[in-house]
């Protein structure tokens, strides 16, 4: 009997750790005013739970218990260190007298989680630091896991996180949700971090594997958290965009690990569950009438998702959405995507004229997808020699193994292997 | 006439100093500050936190951009300084963004060392 109760308590600690550790951390950072102190306190609080819950039973509100235990452990440890450090007794007194508001399920806790997100994604931190810190503190990934995902060494990653925390402390980056006036810019910075994490998982920037599903899953989890805490149209749009891309993951690579283009994908293997959720979110974002680039990109992905075949896609609607997106956020890459949609609507010659005009401006000359898009249109128009030259240029620029193999395959199909 | 003396150090050199060298440097700084004070020539002086704490603020096309680090372009020259009081970096960034030069140049925001908060 006792043994069972103790075993149950251990399971309870594990479950609470999975569900609550990031929330408890977010509150402890606010109460203690320091990331390292809060992490240490979180660790001590769970160590105390492992020891006491099997003996005393699981407390009625585990989160409140962990926050108050962590806080007392931190004050204790500051006291112990205070003997060597002149300013610490004062800090311990301040922490003790400041009343921790009860960490209920109410707004207070959600505010702490938002504070943590906004602080980790603060634009005064470098983008690499923001990504590492967000995955570490908000998602709870280990330094080793993050290092592995970004092909960096654990020590480089650890140093990046240490530096980011030092800047937060020394430059006094506040632990707060931004003011209304700053919210659009600051939310943009948060969503940018989430999208970069997703893209690294969906289309790894280099290396052998095409995708790293764990990172995309983490980004979607983050996207859900942000929508839950701050349901702004662009946050909803980004979550929709990620789900609609993710719905095609299984179809994007063949059993041999080769890249499969959208037009050639087996649509039966798209995740209908993710598509339904993504399309619902797109509608919700568009209804707000305050939507931006993420919601528009998600709307384009939704049109693809709802088409039974590549040929039956509503290309006119996609071109129209790209027009709106270009007005919201002018970019040569968006223009290139629009040109590909125009080629589907009006034929390859119309698309080629647009792609040539974009390439003539020079900005995309180093972008392999611009050259492979041009090659594809030339191929469809029967310009084999020119298509081969364009694929060769794309091959020189492509960094990812599956993409390189895809281009080489296309070159072979044109009737000649790639020249060395 | 008032003059601003700007101090440029190699942080690596400073960080590599032994405690004794550091001590000597602090004493020398303290002595020269006292000398200027006694002569009525000292107006203000502060030590800045390391360059890793710097944030650069710019406004372009009406949009505020904040970046990590002191990446002033080499064609920009130091044109002045403001010493401000702010509760935190967000408030400091807001104030920096109000300076007209934020629109055509850039404002580097760097915390000042608070010697009263330094470990003894």
pLDDT tens-digit series, residues A388-418: 999 999 999 998 888 899 999 999 998 754 4
* Contact present, A260 and A314 (Cβ < 8 Å): no
Beta bridge partners of B107: B57
> What's the residue count for chain A?
420
Give A356-360's long-range contacts (Cβ < 8 A, gap of 24+).
A358/A332
Q: How far is CA A364 from the centre of its chain?
A: 25
What pairing do the DSSP bridges indicate for beta strands B63-68 and B107-109?
Answer: unpaired
CA distances from B26 to B15, B36, B47, B120 (A): 13, 15, 11, 14
pLDDT number for residue A121: 96
Closest CA to A292 of A234, A224, A334, A227: A234
Banded pLDDT at A261 (limits 50, 70, 90): confident
pLDDT confidence band for A148 (50 / 70 / 90) = confident
- Per-residue confidence (pLDDT) for residue B75, from 0 to 100: 82
Angle among Cα A56, A58, A61 to the nearest 5 degrees reads 125
**With 60 as the cut, is the pLDDT of residue A1 above it?**
no
Higher pLDDT, A256 or B39: B39
Q: What is the 3-state secondary structure (H, E, C) of A370-387?
A: HHHHHHHHHHHCCCHHHH
Assigned token pair, A289: 């009438």
Asked if B120 lies within 8 A of A124 by C-beta distance, the reply is no
Q: What order of strands is seen across the sheet that includes strand B55-60?
A: B63-68, B55-60, B107-109
- The answer, for B67 touching chain A at a CB cutoff of 8 Å, is yes
**Most B CBs within 10 Å: which of A78, A94, A161, A171, as the mutation test of the B interface?**
A171
Which residue is associated with the tokens 């003059």?
B3
**Confidence band of B90 (pLDDT split at 50, 70, 90):** very high
* Cα A241 from Cα A358, distance rounded (Å): 26
Tokens of A275: 């598509």
User: Is it the case that residue A371 has pLDDT exceeding 90?
Assistant: yes
Q: How far is CA A149 from CA A209, A223, B37, in A?
A: 11, 18, 56
- Residues A162-172 pLDDT 10s: 999 999 999 99
**pLDDT computed for residue B89 by the predictor:** 95
> A11 vs A18, A57, A349, CA distance in Å?
11, 12, 64
**Of the candidates B64, B66, B111, which has its C-beta nearest A170's C-beta?**
B111
Contacts of residue A292, defined as CB under 8 A and 6 or more positions apart, other chains included, come to A233, A234, A237, A328, A329
Among candidate residues A127, A240, A233, A234, the one with its CA nearest the CA of residue A191? A234
A146 contacts: CB under 8 Å, gap ≥ 6? A132, A135, A136, A152, A157
Q: Which residues contact B16 (CB under 8 A, 6 or more apart)?
A: none
Is the overall model pTM greater than 0.90, yes or no? no
Interface predicted TM-score (ipTM): 0.85
What SS3 class is residue B107? strand
CA angle A167, A170, A174 (to 5 degrees): 80
Give B118's pLDDT tier (boundaries 50, 70, 90): low
Are A172 and B50 in contact (CB < 8 Å)? no
pLDDT of residue A419: 46
- Give me the pLDDT at residue A145, please: 86
The 10s digit of each residue's pLDDT in B18-46 is 999 999 999 999 999 999 999 999 999 99
- Give mean pLDDT, residues A330-351: 95
User: What is the per-residue pLDDT for A355?
Assistant: 97
Interface test with B, best of A172, A173, A178, A292 (most B CBs within 10 A): A172
Q: Enter the tokens of residue A298.
A: 């998600």
Give every CB contact of residue A345 below 8 A, 6+ residues apart in sequence: A315, A316, A318, A319
CB pairs under 8 A between A and B: 56
pLDDT of residue A105: 45
Mean pLDDT, residues A366-384:
94
Select the residue of B54, B66, B109 nearest A123 (Cβ to Cβ): B66
Ranking A62-66, A120-124, A239-243, A416-420 by mean pLDDT, the lowest is A416-420
| pLDDT(B56) > 50 | yes
Q: Span A222-251, mean pLDDT?
A: 95
Mean pLDDT within B53-74: 88
Distances (CA, A) of A207 to A194, A292, A399, A404, A405: 21, 32, 8, 11, 13
Q: What does the mean pLDDT of chain A come to?
A: 89
Mean pLDDT of A113-123: 94
CA B106, CA B96: separation in Å to the nearest integer? Answer: 9
Spatial CB neighbours of A130, under 8 Å, sequence gap ≥ 6: A120, A121, A122, A164, A189, A193
Beta bridge partners of B64: B59
- Report yes or no: B45 at the A interface, CB cutoff 8 Å: no
Average pLDDT over residues A345-371: 95
- The pair phi, psi for residue B50, each rounded to 5°, is -55, 160
- In this structure, are residues A211 and A252 in contact, taking their beta carbons and an 8 Å threshold? yes
């Amino acid at each position: 009997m006792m043994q069972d109760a103790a075993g149950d308590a251990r399971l309870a600690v594990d479950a609470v750790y999975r569900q609550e550790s990031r929330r408890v951390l977010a509150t402890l950072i606010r109460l203690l005013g320091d990331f390292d102190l809060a992490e240490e306190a979180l660790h001590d609080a769970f160590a105390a739970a492992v020891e006491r819950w099997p003996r005393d039973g699981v407390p009625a509100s585990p989160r409140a218990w962990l926050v108050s235990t962590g806080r007392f452990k931190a004050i204790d440890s500051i006291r112990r260190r205070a003997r060597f450090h002149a300013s610490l007794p004062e800090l311990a007194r301040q922490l003790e007298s400041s009343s921790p508001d009860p960490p209920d399920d109410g707004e207070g806790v959600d505010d702490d989680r938002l504070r943590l997100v906004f602080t980790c994604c603060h634009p005064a931190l470098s983008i690499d630091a923001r990504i590492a810190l967000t995955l570490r503190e908000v998602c709870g990934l280990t330094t080793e896991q993050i290092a592995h995902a970004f092909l960096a060494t654990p020590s480089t990653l650890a140093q990046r996180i240490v530096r980011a925390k030092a800047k937060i402390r020394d430059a006094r980056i506040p632990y707060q949700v931004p003011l209304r006036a700053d919210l659009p810019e600051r939310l943009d910075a948060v969503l940018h971090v989430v999208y970069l994490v997703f893209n690294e998982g969906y289309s790894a920037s280099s290396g052998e594997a095409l995708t790293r599903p764990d990172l995309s899953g983490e980004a979607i989890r983050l996207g859900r958290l942000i929508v839950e805490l701050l349901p702004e149209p662009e946050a909803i749009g980004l979550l929709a965009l990620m789900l609609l891309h993710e719905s095609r993951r299984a179809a994007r690579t063949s059993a041999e690990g080769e890249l499969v283009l959208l037009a050639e994908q087996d649509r039966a293997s798209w995740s209908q569950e993710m598509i339904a959720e993504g399309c619902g979110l797109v509608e919700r974002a568009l209804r707000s009438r305050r939507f931006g680039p993420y919601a528009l990109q998600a709307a384009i992905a939704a049109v693809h998702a709802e088409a039974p075949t590549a040929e039956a896609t509503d290309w006119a609607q996609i071109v129209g959405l790209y027009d709106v997106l270009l007005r919201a956020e002018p970019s040569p890459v968006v223009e290139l995507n629009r040109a590909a949609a125009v080629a589907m609507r009006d034929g390859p010659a119309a698309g080629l004229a647009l792609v040539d005009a974009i390439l003539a401006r020079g900005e995309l000359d180093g972008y392999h997808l611009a050259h492979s898009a041009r090659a594809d249109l030339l191929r469809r128009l029967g310009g084999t020699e020119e298509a081969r030259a364009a694929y060769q240029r794309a091959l020189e620029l492509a960094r990812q193994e599956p993409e390189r193999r895809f281009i080489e395959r296309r070159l072979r199909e044109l009737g000649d292997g790639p020249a060395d | 006439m008032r003059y601003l003396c700007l101090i440029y150090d190699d942080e690596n050199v400073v960080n590599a100093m032994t405690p004794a060298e550091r001590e000597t440097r602090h004493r020398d700084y303290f002595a020269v500050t006292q000398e200027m004070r006694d002569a009525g020539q000292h107006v203000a002086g502060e030590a800045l936190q390391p360059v890793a704490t710097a944030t650069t603020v710019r406004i372009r096309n009406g949009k505020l951009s904040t970046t990590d680090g002191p990446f002033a372009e080499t064609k920009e020259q130091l044109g002045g300084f403001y010493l401000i009081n702010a509760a935190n970096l967000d408030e400091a960034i807001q104030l920096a963004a109000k300076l007209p030069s934020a629109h055509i140049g850039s404002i580097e925001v760097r915390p000042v060392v608070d010697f009263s908060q330094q470990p003894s």
